[in-house]
Structure 1
Amino acid sequence: MSWAHEVPGGAAWSTPVRAGRLVTLTALGDDANVSVLLFGADRLDRLNVPDTMKAQMSARIRPPMVLMSDRGLALASVVSSTSDWHDCLTGFGHDAHLERFGPSSYAADRNDWRRSARSGLISELTKHGLGEADLHGPVNFFSKVAIADDASASLAWQAGHTTAGDQVVLRTEQDVLLVLSTAPHPLSGAAYGPAGVQVEVGSAPWPAEDDASWLFRDESARALEMCRRVVA
């Protein structure tokens, strides 16, 4: 059994997802950005981007990496992706990142009201008994940042990295709470008009002996094994 939900651009959404599911994110427009937070079902485990990067020797998220928690447990594995680069360095957008587009409010703009990723994520967290203190570094799926051509070697958002129809597929390794925002990437230089995303959830087959995430690195396999012990 599978189901799908469409999240408009500039919105936020959340849902619990059981272990052993495939979560497919599909970009519904060019230059989409989906800032994703992950929590274990007991809320003790949450996505730890620095440990995920350090353990797997990468400054980007790509298949077949494992998204790890504070305690080194696997939350989800990146099964496949049409892109081999998803940003995990620059965090989520704040209200200040939208100021260049001018003032916006629900009273004036109704459903076109511009909200930052931070605002939307906090709003979703409160629905699950969480709050601002539970914010953590996200993965910005579909976005790429690279070293800019300047003397400071600063990071720059890469336009044109994603086109409509691009996908990334995650396999949940334990029961998780998925919280996401489709607000613009904090470094985006594009005109305001964030793309939406479709979220589809379906059953995942049991990982085979040659599963890419299990074989990726010893650290990846250890995170998956530790998760299996906890949820067994």
Structure 2
Amino acid sequence: MLKQSALTPDTACYRQVIPAGDYWLKRIAKDQILRIVDVEGNQAADTLFFSAEDPAERYSAVDTVRAQGNVYLGLGSRLMSTECNVMLEIVADTVGQHDTLGGACATESNTVRYALDKRTMHACRDSWLLAIAQHDEFKLTKRDITHNINFFMNVPVTPDGGLDFADGVSGPGKYVEMRACMDVIVLISNCPQLNNPCNAYNPTPIEILLWDPA
């Protein structure tokens, strides 16, 4: 199901473009609205969420999938924490499907999936590790890098139960919008992947917008 937002960019309290391969790390308050925009289309935004009060409580793919009975996220999906609390809820979505299973690219997985010479290519896990190293005020460590959401990414489940990394289903200017149900830390890697079609082999920018509660 698709739904346009009633919010307009000119009323946002925060707006920033994130280049391909870069990260975004910020605390957002309960009831703020977070929008992630696929600026040029077919990009993937690998995203982690943590409780701002206790980062040990974080987004749980297992509990989120179980709570909604669906491996994909869309309008109305509630993102659950490891304590089974609702962290965020998707309140507007012009894409319709977001991945919970494909995980994030890493130098190790690039080597296993593709070739030894791909190991040195930049990866989402590198972006996350750089972010937490440069922002120790969030008190995140390497151990906090766990399951993520791949917004805009298309990872079909095959008939034999495997995963297929396919062309994205998003397009230029499409977005997903979430209301924070608690104070959360958001960590995004704007995926630099060049080896599979998740972003058409052409990493592009995303844009982040925030709105304060009405």
Asked if Structure 1 and Structure 2 have the same fold, meaning a TM-score greater than 0.5 normalized by the shorter chain, the answer is: yes
Query: 1: CA distance between counterparts of 2:131 and 2:80?
Result: 22
Deviation per residue, 1:160-190 (Å, 9 max, x gap) = 4111111000101111100000114698236
With normalisation by structure 1, the TM-score equals 0.76
- Determine the structure 2 residue equivalent to 1:116: 123
Instruction: Using the TM superposition, name which of 92-101 and 131-140 deviates more.
Output: 92-101
Q: 1:9 to 1:56 in 2, by over 3 A?
A: same
Larger radius of gyration: 1
Question: 1:134 is aligned with what amino acid?
Answer: D
RMSD: 2.4
Which residues in structure 2 correspond to 1:37-56 (within 5 Å)? 37-42=48-53, 43-56=55-68
How far residue 157 of structure 1 moved from its aligned partner, in angstroms, is 1.9
Q: 1:157 to 1:184 in 2, by over 3 A?
A: farther
With normalisation by structure 2, the TM-score equals 0.82
Runs of 4 or more, structure 1, over 6 Å off, are none
Query: 2: CA distance between counterparts of 1:103 and 1:184?
Result: 12
Specify every segment of 5 or more residues in structure 1 that has no aligned partner in the other structure, as ranges: 106-113, 206-232
- Determine the structure 2 residue equivalent to 1:195: 204
- Determine the structure 2 residue equivalent to 1:81: 93
Give yes or no for the alignment of 1:61 onto 2:68: no
For the 8 Å contact 1:92–1:185, the answer to whether it is kept is: no
- Determine the structure 2 residue equivalent to 1:92: 104
Aligned residues, how many? 195
For the 8 Å contact 2:58–2:81, the answer to whether it is kept is: yes
Report the identity percentage.
20
Query: 2: CA distance between counterparts of 1:178 and 1:59?
Result: 21
How far residue 129 of structure 1 moved from its aligned partner, in angstroms, is 2.3
Specify every segment of 5 or more residues in structure 2 that has no aligned partner in the other structure, as ranges: 1-11
Q: 2:165 is matched with which residue: 157, 164, 167?
A: 157
How far residue 68 of structure 1 moved from its aligned partner, in angstroms, is 0.9
